[in-house]
C-alpha cells in the first residue's frame, strides 16, 4: 500500500498544474483545431456546420493568404536579423567598463518594456505624412524635398513597420547576449591574448562560439514572438495600405475580430502554427544544442 502511494504522489503533485495547463492551453488549442473544420461565422450563429477540409483548401487559393505569407517572411527575417545584429553590437558595448554603465543598461530596456500598442501609436505619429517628426528632420536636412507618406504608401509601409519592430526588439537581444557574454570565462581571453590573437580573432573564435547557445535560444524565441505579434502593425497601418502590411497573424486577427469568421481564422492560425513549428524543428535539428555545448 505504502509503495503504491509513493508511486502516485508525484502524479498527484503535478496534477493541479497539469489540469490548469489542460484548461488554459490544451482546450483552446483543441478547440481551434475543431473550429478550423467548421464554417463558423458569428454573423450566422444558426448556420454553423462541419465542412471538413474546405477551409484548408480555401486558404491555399486565397491571394491575400499568399501576400500575407510573403509579408510574414519579410517581417520575421528582416525584423529578427537586425534586432539581433544591433542587439549584439549593443551587448558588446555594454560589456565594456565605462562610467554610468548601470544607468545605460536600464535605460536601453525602455523600448522592450513599453507596451506594443503604445509603440505603435508613438511611431505612427513619428511617421505621419503631414506632421511627423521623421519627415520634418529629413526635410530640414534636405534629404527629402516633399514629405513622404511612410505608412500610407505600400512602397514604404512594410519597411516602416519593420524598423519599428527592430527598435522594440534590440534591448531583448542586448540583455540576453550581455548575460551570455558575462558567462564567458575571462581566462579564455587572457590565454588568447598571450597567444597573440587580435580582437577580431578573439571575437570570431571565442566570443561567438561561446555565445551560440544564447543566440540560438533568443533568436528562436524572437522569431516566434515576432511572427505572432499583431499589435504594432495593427495599430500603425491596420494591415494596409491595401494588403501591404498584412502578416499571417494580422490577417488571422482581422478575420476573427472584424469578419467574425472564426472557422477560417482558426485555419489560418493553424497554418501559421505548423509553419512556426517546422521552423523550430529544423532549427533544433540542424544546430544541435548539445553539440554546441
Partner 1 sequence: MKKNLKRVLGLVVVFVLLASLMTGCGGGNNTSQPGEEENKEGEVVKLKHWLWLDNPNDPTFAQLVEEFNNTHPNIQVEFEVIGWNDFHTKLLSSVTGGSGPDTSSFKLTWQPEFIGQDALLPLDDFLNEWQGKSDVVDNLWDVLKYEDGKHYVMPWELQVLYMYYRPSMFKEAGVEVPETWDDFLEVCKKLTKDTDGDEKIDQYGFAMRGARGGHEPWASFVLASVPGNTFFDENGNCTFTTPEAIKANEFFLDLYRKHKVVPPTAPGDGFNEIIANFKSGKAAMVVHHIKSSNDMIQQFGDDVDAFAVPAGPHGRWTSMGDTENVIYKSTKHPKEAFTFISWLSEKEQMLRWCKTTGNVPILKSLQDEDEFKNNRFMQASFESMPYAHVYPINENMGEWIESLWPATTQQALEGKIDSKTMMEILAEGMTK
Which residues are at the interface with partner 1 (CB under 8 A)?
2, 5-6, 9, 12, 41-46, 128-131, 145-147, 149, 151-154, 237-243, 254, 258-261
Residues 6+ apart with CB under 8 A from 193: 202
- What is the three-class DSSP state of 277? helix
Residues 6+ apart with CB under 8 A from 223: 76, 80, 276, 279
DSSP at 22 = I
Q: How far is the CB of 64 from partner 1 (least distance, A)?
A: 8
∠ CA 145-151-157, nearest 5°, is: 100
| CA-to-CA dists, residue 28 to 21, 31, 32, 227, angstroms | 10, 5, 6, 19
Closest CB to partner 1 among 18 and 284?
Answer: 18
Q: How far is the CB of 236 from partner 1 (least distance, A)?
A: 9
Q: How far is the CB of 93 from partner 1 (least distance, A)?
A: 37
Residue 139 cell numbers, joined: 526635410
Closest CB to partner 1 among 156 and 202?
Answer: 156
Closest CB to partner 1 among 210 and 260?
Answer: 260
Q: How far is the CB of 159 from partner 1 (least distance, A)?
A: 15
Q: How far is the CB of 75 from partner 1 (least distance, A)?
A: 18
Counting Cα atoms < 13 Å in the Cβ hemisphere of 265 gives: 18
Closest CB to partner 1 among 12 and 17?
Answer: 12
- What is the three-class DSSP state of 144? coil
Cα separation of 230 and 291, whole Å?
Answer: 35
Residues 6+ apart with CB under 8 A from 109: 171, 175
Q: How far is the CB of 46 from partner 1 (least distance, A)?
A: 6
Question: Contact 168/112 with Cβ under 8 angstroms?
Answer: yes
Closest CB to partner 1 among 42 and 217?
Answer: 42
Closest CB to partner 1 among 3 and 285?
Answer: 3
Q: How far is the CB of 176 from partner 1 (least distance, A)?
A: 35
User: Cα Rg for the chain, rounded, in angstroms?
Assistant: 24
Q: How far is the CB of 225 from partner 1 (least distance, A)?
A: 24
Closest CB to partner 1 among 48 and 287?
Answer: 48
| CA-to-CA dists, residue 30 to 34, 77, 218, angstroms | 6, 30, 28
DSSP element (H, E) containing 79: helix 63-94
Closest CB to partner 1 among 213 and 241?
Answer: 241
Amino acid at each position: 500500500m505504502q509503495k503504491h502511494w509513493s508511486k502516485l504522489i508525484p502524479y498527484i503533485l503535478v496534477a493541479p498544474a497539469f489540469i490548469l495547463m489542460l484548461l488554459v492551453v490544451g482546450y483552446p488549442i483543441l478547440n481551434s483545431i475543431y473550429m478550423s473544420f467548421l464554417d463558423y461565422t458569428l454573423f450566422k450563429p444558426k448556420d454553423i456546420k462541419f465542412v471538413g477540409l474546405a477551409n484548408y483548401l480555401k486558404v491555399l487559393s486565397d491571394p491575400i493568404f499568399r501576400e500575407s505569407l510573403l509579408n510574414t517572411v519579410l517581417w520575421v527575417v528582416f525584423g529578427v536579423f537586425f534586432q539581433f545584429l544591433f542587439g549584439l553590437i549593443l551587448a558588446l558595448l555594454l560589456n565594456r567598463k565605462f562610467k554610468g554603465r548601470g544607468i545605460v543598461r536600464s535605460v536601453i530596456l525602455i523600448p522592450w518594456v513599453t507596451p506594443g500598442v503604445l509603440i505603435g501609436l508613438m511611431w505612427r505619429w513619428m511617421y505621419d505624412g503631414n506632421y511627423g517628426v521623421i519627415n520634418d528632420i529629413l526635410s530640414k536636412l534636405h534629404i527629402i524635398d516633399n514629405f513622404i507618406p511612410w505608412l500610407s504608401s505600400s512602397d514604404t509601409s512594410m519597411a516602416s513597420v519593420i524598423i519599428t519592430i527592430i527598435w522594440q526588439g534590440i534591448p531583448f537581444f542586448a540583455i540576453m547576449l550581455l548575460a551570455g557574454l558575462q558567462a564567458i570565462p575571462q581566462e579564455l581571453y587572457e590565454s588568447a591574448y598571450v597567444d597573440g590573437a587580435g580582437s577580431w580573432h578573439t571575437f570570431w573564435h571565442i566570443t561567438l562560439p561561446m555565445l551560440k547557445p544564447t543566440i540560438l535560444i533568443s533568436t528562436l524565441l524572437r522569431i516566434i514572438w515576432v511572427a505572432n505579434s499583431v499589435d504594432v502593425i495593427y495599430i500603425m497601418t491596420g494591415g494596409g495600405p491595401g494588403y501591404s502590411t498584412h502578416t499571417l497573424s494580422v490577417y488571422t486577427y482581422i478575420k476573427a475580430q472584424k469578419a467574425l469568421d472564426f472557422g477560417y481564422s482558426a485555419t489560418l492560425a493553424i497554418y501559421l502554427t505548423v509553419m512556426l513549428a517546422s521552423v523550430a524543428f529544423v532549427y533544433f535539428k540542424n544546430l544541435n544544442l548539445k553539440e554546441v555545448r
